[in-house]
Chains A and B, each alone.
Chain A
Amino acid sequence: MPQHEYDVVVVGSGAGGGMAAWNLTRKGAKVLMLEAGARFDPATFWSHVKPWEARERRRRGERSPAFESLPLRESPYETPEGQSFLLRRVWGVGGKTNIWGRVSLRYGDLNFSEPAVDGWEIPWPLKYSDIAPYYDRVERLIGVCGGEDASDFLPGSPHHLPPPKLRCGEVLLRMGARKAGYTVVPGRRAVLTKDYNGRAKCHFCGACGRGCDIGAFFNSPDYLLADAFATGNLTLRENAIVSHILAGDDGRASGVRYFERLTGAERTVPAQRVVLAASAVDSTRILLNSKSPAYPNGLGNGADVIGRYLCEQFRFHVQAFAPQLYGRPATNDDGISGGHIYIPRFERPDQKRDYMRGFGIQLWGIGCGSNGQFARRMPGFGADLKKEVRKRYPALIQLHPYGEVLPYRHNRISVEGTHPDRFGVPTIRIDYRLGENEAKMIPRMYDVVEDILHAMKAEPLPYKRGALDELGAAIHEHGTCRMGDDPRRSALNGYMQMHEVPNVFVTDGSAFPTPTEKNPTLTLLALTWRATDYMAEEMRARSI
């Protein structure tokens, strides 16, 4: 019997790993966290470096934190000839929560029940009422601003912090969309619009994407790991690139293998229980590479579902101008950065349409921004162009519809035949295409955008109907290690526990059987809290 220093080994330190560590350590479990990258120091964030100052800094050889470069260097990915997938990962303590978009929308009963209604692939193993108490807890813990609205499409919350005021372009967009018959609600974002739980509120500098130097939006290091460290129960090992979960003769996970990034040394840590939360794609890589006589297809993959059913949202962007704002004095439109309003999904599952599921519309990039990129698509050059750019600068509006992609068996992450990384571990290939259902949804999405633009008398910049952003750009990968009640069609149960390997839990986006049209982080936090409550009970009962 190996000596176990830790009760649980958690792989990854983002939303899923952070929440698992937070909840388990406060219940007294000793946790070892393995993180592929290193800590980011908020003092080095370029949160308050203006564009022209950034250039001067770069000229002096200074660099802002490279949030996204490490995984591309250490574990690049392939796509089949003629296909692309934009995979954005952050290796480093906190993962993507350091720079995420902060959109925090509850999934509705509509989202959870719809696969059972339309029959596409497998149903969720839980209902809204199962997760609602955890949404409450998460919102109280991290602070989410939003309105008082509530609907089947977007359940309400009694815990919202005050929503930020609207920018002028948002006032006009809201008027136009309502005139066209669509519901517009305050955006819901994990940003502190007032001092909360001892943390200082947002100061509206608009640079969230470069990391927040004061932690005024939810991120795993400030909101979860700090508390976990304070219990004395958390040990963090940085620069530990996990390659395999090892299985013992009893079929249970017995350890985790990783490579020290800085020395290249191979290490194995014994594990009584594992929480895998390395992000959807990297957890999938680890599971598929964890082959053994008991698990020839990868750990817990007897049903051949792991790696398959990759799904997220597809999206596109339409930019336009609100003529009511032409020539107005420029204003500071940073706000909490990103949209202060949202158009939730409005198509009901039972509504007659020629496609399943639906879309919501996000609205960011409204008003005076920190660049003039919109001018690239204005005609002409010279003094006339310059004059028109100045006139239209305060009038910029943007619509970004997000549509749900169905889970398809052929959309998959695989490790067979890929290039090995520098430690000899196979990297991943992403084979991902949209299907007919998405193709049918796209024209409707453009119709709705055009309805709204028309109702507000907006002047769009040139766009091509049907054009989409690069696949993967929503950064919401799901489905490749999905939950479900049926072990023949899913890898995890509703508590994110592997059907075949009961001492392994997978708490990242890979566990979601459908992507919905919404951003997943709030739901992942709620699911993980619930899963680790269950896990702690099972540990107490000595069943795992």
Chain B
Amino acid sequence: MPATTRRQALVTIAAGLSAGGLSAQREYEPRTFSREDYDLLGELVEMILPATDTPGAREAGVHAMLDEDLAKDAKARGVLADGMARLRAEGFAEMSEQRRVAALTRCSESTGDDRAFFETLKGLTIDAYYSTETGLVDELGYQGNTYLAEFPGCTHDHDLEDAG
């Protein structure tokens, strides 16, 4: 899959020109999280789904989407904010990439609040990222919700009969 299709490049430019477009993340002003939490959230969502041959969650604007979506979800907002406060208290900002991965891995393997923080962060990042054109189309290859004259069905039945 190409890192950036020509169409996607045009979409990104267009979004950047329109006020509030998520690709213009430098212009997005967080209204739910503090600026400090918002920036950290951007780094964390990128750790969950990073840039590979397609852009990662931060470039896709996932942290801005969460800032919007959690305005009316005090519970999830609290789980994320509290978790980020604990990471910060551990000196997360100064950690190397490797130690950051270790810290997040520890959260994922723990129980209680740290685990809830990780699951919330991961779940919301997945839902948001794979709802963007970047995540759904460029990364996964989604082709749906379009007009088709006929539905072709599975085009390699024989292949599958052999495999099955």
Contact = CB atoms under 8 A, between A and B. Distances in A.
Interface stretch (A198-206, A430-438, A491-499): A198-206
B143 A330 contact: yes
B141 interface: yes
A50 B147 CA distance: 13
Contact of A204 (B122, B129, B130, B148): B148
Contacts of B147: 203-205
Contact of A203 (B126, B148, B155, B156): B148
B145 A393 contact: no
B27 interface: no
A387 B52 contact: yes
A48 interface: yes
For the residues of B in contact with A, the DSSP-based class is loop
B153 A335 contact: yes
Contact of A334 (B68, B144, B154): B144
B25 to A, nearest CB: 14
Contacts of A457: 164
B140 A372 contact: yes
Given A52-B131, A168-B160, A381-B48, A334 B142 contact: no
B114 to A, nearest CB: 14
Interface string B93-122: 000000001001000100000000000001
A386 interface: yes
Interface residues of B, number: 46
A336 to B, nearest CB: 7
Contacts of B101: 382
B108 A381 contact: yes
Contacts of A386: 49-50, 52, 56, 139
B141 A393 contact: yes
B73 interface: no
B164 A368 contact: no
B127 A385 contact: no
Nearest to A193: B151
Name which of B104, B150, B154, B163 has the most chain A CB atoms within 10 A of its CB.
Answer: B154
A207 B147 CA distance: 11
A330 B48 contact: no
Interface in B48-92: 48-50, 52, 56, 65, 68
A427 to B, nearest CB: 25
A70 B33 CA distance: 32
Contacts of B108: 380-381
A146 interface: no
Given A170-B154, A205-B144, A372-B130, 20 more contacts: A52-B133, A165-B152, A167-B154, A204-B148, A205-B146, A324-B163, A324-B164, A330-B140, A330-B143, A332-B148, A334-B151, A368-B141, A370-B144, A371-B130, A371-B131, A372-B126, A376-B127, A382-B49, A385-B48, A390-B139
Interface of B: 20, 47-50, 52, 56, 65, 68, 101, 104, 108, 122-123, 126-127, 129-133, 135-136, 139-157, 160-161, 163-164
Query: Closest 7 A-B residue pairs measured CB to CB?
Result: A165-B153, A372-B130, A330-B141, A168-B154, A51-B131, A204-B148, A332-B143
19 contacts: A48-B145, A164-B151, A164-B153, A166-B153, A166-B154, A171-B160, A176-B164, A331-B143, A335-B153, A371-B130, A371-B131, A372-B140, A373-B126, A376-B122, A381-B122, A383-B50, A385-B48, A385-B49, A386-B52
